[in-house]
């Protein structure tokens, strides 16, 4: 089985071995020390300020997206949302559900984001912006420096879903003045699914999380922050995934940290795109792409057929799309360092015949 999927992604042998161990009891000083180390390493990998807060949630990325929104914003806020696909839309759904006022900046699946779309909203009373750094449904990588500068000029709290782009594209929480960033276990970390992590700048936490009162018991960040001071969570964490996170984070940092991982993933993406262009008839949308994945346009509207053929005949898994994109768009991801050029060559060889 070869996984060109955006999570779970192929795990390395050390992580698989860790996943097979008996989970320990977690209300101990030893586990607390492990959790605190994980928090420190996570902040290092996103280059967060030293006093930033870390929230460890036993939840999918969508759970963390909702948790971040309801802890940082309320009905008193006014948000901008860059809506470039399924996950941008998810932010709009969360805000609508919780009665948080917002304006959606819509970007078509094959439309490169134009920074001029921001111009009508300058100095218009917006207090927050939500953006998926990479819109996973299309692969578009949004221009974070431009978005960050826009937010800085308007004193807008910027919240970034970096779930797909984490450890695949350069990211710097300090430089971009990010209020909060969201990542998940099954993407760039290459761990099992089940946990998400929110890193929150200290001033954002003090000004927003402490002043807010979300209608949620499980997702109250002030409770997580209080428990994390002693290396714990308010509710039972996914202990096995935290063990994997600790072991993998240590190895990532020792082998060059986020920059080294990003370089390796970029090399896979570049190689795939070069071979795709040279050897197949598939086109790619004319948009800025994340290193994490490449969207393929299926000209004969046979995306489902290609997906099923790859899965059933070759045990190769690519990623289908949902909704209106389903007939003609597939996604091939490059998130795992377990992928080799030989895996890409095998996939390219099959696609060339389709």
Q: Do residues 169 and 309 share a domain?
A: no
Q: 294 phi and psi, to 5 degrees?
A: -125, 125
Cα gap 112→143, rounded to integer Å: 10
Tell me, what's the pLDDT at 223?
98
Tokens 């826009």: give the residue. Answer: 150
The answer to whether 299 and 239 are in contact (CB under 8 A) is: no
Does 9 fall in a domain?
no
Tell me, what's the pLDDT at 17?
95
Q: Do residues 261 and 249 share a domain?
A: no
CATH of residue 341's domain is 3.90.1150.10
Q: Do residues 104 and 148 share a domain?
A: yes
DSSP per residue, 276-326? HHHH---B--SS-B-TTEEEEE-TTS-HHHHHHHHHHHH-EE-EE--GGGT
Domain boundary (254, 273, 294) is at 254
Q: Do residues 185 and 283 share a domain?
A: no
Question: Residue 128, Cβ neighbours under 10 Å: how many?
Answer: 24
Please give the structure tokens belonging to residue 290: 């994340």
Domain boundary (199, 231, 254) is at 254
Q: Do residues 294 and 151 share a domain?
A: no
Task: Work out how many domains the chain is built from and give that number.
Answer: 2
> What is the pLDDT tens value at each position of the chain, 354 positions in all?
999 999 999 999 999 999 999 999 999 999 999 999 999 999 999 999 999 999 999 999 999 999 999 999 999 999 999 999 999 999 999 999 999 999 999 999 999 999 999 999 999 999 999 999 999 999 999 999 999 999 999 999 999 999 999 999 999 999 999 999 999 999 999 999 999 999 999 999 999 999 998 999 999 999 999 999 999 999 999 999 999 999 999 999 999 999 999 999 999 999 999 999 999 999 999 999 999 999 999 999 999 999 999 999 999 999 999 999 999 999 999 999 999 999 999 999 999 998
Q: Do residues 166 and 86 share a domain?
A: yes
Tell me, what's the pLDDT at 83?
98
Q: Do residues 204 and 119 share a domain?
A: yes
Tell me, what's the pLDDT at 157?
98
The answer to whether 162 and 180 are in contact (CB under 8 A) is: no
What is the total residue count of the chain? 354
Does 4 fall in a domain?
no
Does 138 fall in a domain?
yes
3-state secondary structure of 327: coil
Tell me, what's the pLDDT at 292?
97
Domain boundary (220, 254, 288) is at 254
Does 113 fall in a domain?
yes
**Range of 89's domain?**
14-254
Q: Do residues 93 and 169 share a domain?
A: yes
Tell me, what's the pLDDT at 209?
97
Tell me, what's the pLDDT at 201?
98
CATH of residue 132's domain is 3.40.640.10
Tell me, what's the pLDDT at 299?
93
Tell me, what's the pLDDT at 136?
96
Upstream peptide bond of 165 is cis (omega within 30 degrees of 0) = no
Cα gap 78→82, rounded to integer Å: 14
The answer to whether 134 and 86 are in contact (CB under 8 A) is: no
């Amino acid at each position: 089985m070869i996984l060109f999927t955006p999570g779970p992604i192929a795990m390395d042998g050390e992580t698989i071995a860790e996943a097979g161990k008996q989970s320990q009891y977690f209300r101990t000083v030893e586990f607390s020390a492990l959790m605190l180390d994980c928090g420190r390493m996570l902040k290092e990998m996103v280059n967060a300020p030293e006093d930033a807060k870390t929230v460890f949630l036993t939840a999918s990325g969508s759970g963390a997206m909702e948790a971040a929104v309801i802890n940082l914003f309320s009905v008193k806020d006014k948000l901008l949302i860059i809506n470039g696909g399924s996950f941008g839309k998810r932010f709009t759904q969360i805000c609508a559900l919780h009665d948080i006022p917002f304006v959606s900046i819509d970007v078509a699946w094959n439309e490169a984001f134009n920074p001029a779309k921001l111009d009508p909203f300058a100095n218009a009373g917006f207090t927050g912006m939500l953006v998926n750094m990479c819109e996973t449904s299309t692969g578009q990588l949004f221009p974070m420096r431009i978005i960050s500068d826009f937010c800085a000029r308007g004193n807008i709290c910027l919240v970034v879903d970096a779930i797909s782009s984490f450890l695949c594209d350069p990211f710097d929480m300090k430089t971009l003045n990010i209020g909060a960033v969201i990542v998940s276990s099954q993407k760039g970390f290459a761990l099992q699914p089940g946990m998400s992590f929110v890193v929150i700048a200290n001033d954002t936490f003090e000004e927003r999380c402490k002043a807010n009162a979300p209608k949620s018991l499980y997702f109250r960040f002030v409770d997580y922050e209080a428990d994390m001071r002693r290396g714990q969570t308010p509710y039972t964490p996914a202990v096995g995934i935290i063990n994997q996170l600790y072991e993998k984070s240590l190895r990532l940092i020792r082998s060059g940290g986020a920059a080294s991982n990003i370089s390796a993933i970029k090399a896979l993406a570049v190689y795939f795109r070069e071979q795709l262009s040279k050897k197949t008839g598939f086109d790619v949308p004319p948009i800025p792409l994340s290193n994490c994945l490449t969207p393929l346009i299926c000209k004969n509207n046979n995306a489902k057929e290609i997906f099923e053929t790859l899965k059933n005949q070759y045990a190769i898994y690519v990623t289908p799309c949902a909704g209106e994109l389903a007939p003609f768009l597939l996604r091939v991801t490059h998130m795992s360092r377990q992928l080799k050029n030989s895996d890409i060559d095998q996939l390219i060889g099959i696609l060339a015949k389709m």
